[in-house]
A and B are shown apart, each in its own frame.
Chain A
């Protein structure tokens, strides 16, 4: 059984999300990876550690344009004879997988959080994380868009054969005028630990203790919707139903009451710690660990204890 995994390597490196998609694919069959751009061949060869047998790289396509990538993936499906196509449901996966599904007329499992069971049924997130759907694909070829951080990655050892691949992918459908990058921060959608805060912090000037704790933990920072709406924090930090949905291993929330819309964005987190002065805050119902106390007092103490732990290891 042949499985094709598309990964976005335009940044010049292989992301954790991409490793997950390859590893997931290796549980379904022999993985051929397809990618594009200028990434170094030895970085691609190391995908063998996650189960890839072969990597096809199209050096002539240097964009993440969904029109071009759809042609690339379709050509690679034909070349590899794959019955399953896997994407990570990151920004590129969201843009490209639906187009590929339509181009191949192959059923799309959008946001898979599990491998298929014996009956070929996949679990997907629905209702913004408030429920799981069990989805069956009715077509011979399946397209799977894998939710990041939904399986435990295991690193093996192996080397994938890297081959140049060519296919007519047309020209890009848009031109990139400029790119504005966030510098030096841990990206929220990929973060394994997230420290988040809400209106309980009383003002943007008090975020220093959140950032300090995040730095100690190697975590990304996030916030609740009201905080982004009043401009205390940038919009890209807003997690919740209408913001970003995240699934870190550890989510620490300070001064967030836990409205149902906020929970929808974070309840895929493996462990949730809630710090709130109000013992009745609904967030405690969704928490694994709770601290009834003032974030101004608790966050610095927590930071000091984590520093102690880190220095003793």
Chain B
């Protein structure tokens, strides 16, 4: 089995978000980058588990600049066999998906994994776009994936429950909580990652369909109004007459 796992860079979850250049650019000063948690904890680790039981290879792919190699090496340290970096600073999800799909079409991958969303853009876009560009099925928000031969059984989220579905490879799957447990790379993995193959591929031409013109921080809340714990009548009154939410 050949697995391709899409890996994206994201600011650490504790990062304080602000912007520079007239609110047009994310302020990267002092930001620690990590592998996007959904890509790492669920997509990558489940691909590795399947490879360990069924055999095969796990390749990661990232559309990014040379600065992204630190997080790519992290994925290799966790256990991926090799990595690909498409040498581009992606401007939108379509661009990212197009680069990955162009690469994946040539590789005869059985499953292309993505995380359910990135924690910086939260768009849940790239997986579905790749599937359409490759003309293969897309399974969104999977919480469990098992494989027998080329038939996959998948638990996916549905409104108010879980749907158990079956389909054959190849397909693209977006991975949510439940797919796997986070793995901490060990020293041997970290050492091995230094010499694992990391192929750099130049991007293909692609239009940019959307542009982020600027960013805003959410309106800061006015100061919290405190209510004494023995005066819940007052809280209920405020929620009813002032906030008008009950």
Query: Are A131 and B19 within 8 A (Cβ)?
Result: yes
Query: Are A99 and B129 within 8 A (Cβ)?
Result: yes
CB within 8 Å of B: which of A240-264? 241-243, 245, 249-250, 260-261, 264
The answer to the question of A271 belonging to the interface, with a C-beta cut-off of 8 Å to chain B, is yes
Q: How far is the CA of A20 from the CA of B139 in the complex (A)?
A: 25
- Which of A173, A185, A304 gathers most chain B CB within 10 Å? A173
Q: Which residue of B lies closest to A189 (CB)?
A: B159
Q: Contacts of A305 on B, CB cut-off 8 Å?
A: 232-233, 235-236
Q: Contacts of B126 on A, CB cut-off 8 Å?
A: 98
- Which of A103, A127, A131, A250 gathers most chain B CB within 10 Å? A127
Query: Are A133 and B212 within 8 A (Cβ)?
Result: yes
Q: Contacts of B119 on A, CB cut-off 8 Å?
A: 127-128, 241-242, 264
- Min C-beta distance of A171 to chain B, whole Å: 11
Complex partner residue of B137 from A67, A187, A308, CB under 8 angstroms: A67
Query: Are B211 and A95 within 8 A (Cβ)?
Result: no
- Min C-beta distance of B6 to chain A, whole Å: 13
Query: Are B229 and A108 within 8 A (Cβ)?
Result: no
Known interface pairs A135-B212, A287-B224. Does A94 touch B245 (Cβ–Cβ under 8 Å)? no
Q: How many A-B residue pairs have CB under 8 A?
A: 271
Q: Contacts of B209 on A, CB cut-off 8 Å?
A: 101, 105-108, 137-139
Query: Are B138 and A134 within 8 A (Cβ)?
Result: no
Known interface pairs A67-B138, A98-B93, A298-B229. Does A177 touch B14 (Cβ–Cβ under 8 Å)? no
Q: Contacts of B141 on A, CB cut-off 8 Å?
A: 91, 94-95
Q: How far is the CA of A270 from the CA of B14 in the complex (A)?
A: 23
Q: Which residue of A lies closest to B158 (CB)?
A: A91
Pick from B61-69, B72-80, B162-170, B194-202 the stretch touching chain A: B162-170
Known interface pairs A99-B138, A127-B17, A292-B229. Does A110 touch B131 (Cβ–Cβ under 8 Å)? no
Pick from B46-54, B102-110, B184-192, B215-223 the stretch touching chain A: B215-223
Query: Are B213 and A136 within 8 A (Cβ)?
Result: yes
Q: How far is the CA of A190 from the CA of B131 in the complex (A)?
A: 28
The answer to the question of A201 belonging to the interface, with a C-beta cut-off of 8 Å to chain B, is no
Query: Are A98 and B127 within 8 A (Cβ)?
Result: yes
Q: Contacts of B164 on A, CB cut-off 8 Å?
A: 176-180
Interface size class of A (residues with CB under 8 A): 35 or more
Q: Contacts of A193 on B, CB cut-off 8 Å?
A: 245-246
- Min C-beta distance of B79 to chain A, whole Å: 21
CB within 8 Å of B: which of A157-207? 173-182, 185, 187, 189-190, 193
Q: Which residue of B lies closest to A138 (CB)?
A: B209
Complex partner residue of A94 from B140, B178, B230, CB under 8 angstroms: B140
- Min C-beta distance of A70 to chain B, whole Å: 7
Q: Contacts of A189 on B, CB cut-off 8 Å?
A: 159
- Min C-beta distance of B241 to chain A, whole Å: 10
Query: Are A135 and B211 within 8 A (Cβ)?
Result: yes
Query: Are B93 and A108 within 8 A (Cβ)?
Result: yes
- Min C-beta distance of B46 to chain A, whole Å: 16
The answer to the question of A80 belonging to the interface, with a C-beta cut-off of 8 Å to chain B, is no
Q: How far is the CA of A139 from the CA of B221 in the complex (A)?
A: 36
Complex partner residue of B229 from A89, A187, A270, A293, CB under 8 angstroms: A293
Q: How far is the CA of A96 from the CA of B127 in the complex (A)?
A: 10
Query: Are B162 and A238 within 8 A (Cβ)?
Result: no
A281-293 toward B: CB 8 Å interface, digit per residue (1/0)? 0001111111111
The answer to the question of B203 belonging to the interface, with a C-beta cut-off of 8 Å to chain A, is no
The answer to the question of B150 belonging to the interface, with a C-beta cut-off of 8 Å to chain A, is no
Q: Contacts of B246 on A, CB cut-off 8 Å?
A: 193, 217, 250, 306, 309
Q: Which residue of B lies closest to A185 (CB)?
A: B160
The answer to the question of A59 belonging to the interface, with a C-beta cut-off of 8 Å to chain B, is no
Q: Contacts of B19 on A, CB cut-off 8 Å?
A: 131
Q: Contacts of B38 on A, CB cut-off 8 Å?
A: 242
Known: A8-B159, A66-B137; 12 extra A-B contacts, CB below 8 A, are A11-B159, A92-B159, A97-B128, A98-B127, A101-B129, A121-B213, A126-B121, A133-B215, A179-B158, A190-B159, A288-B225, A291-B228
Ranked 7 nearest A-B pairs via Cβ: A293-B229, A98-B128, A110-B123, A95-B140, A173-B137, A107-B209, A174-B167
CB pairs A–B below 8 angstroms (12 shown): A66-B131, A91-B140, A98-B128, A101-B128, A135-B211, A174-B166, A189-B159, A242-B38, A288-B243, A289-B239, A301-B232, A305-B233
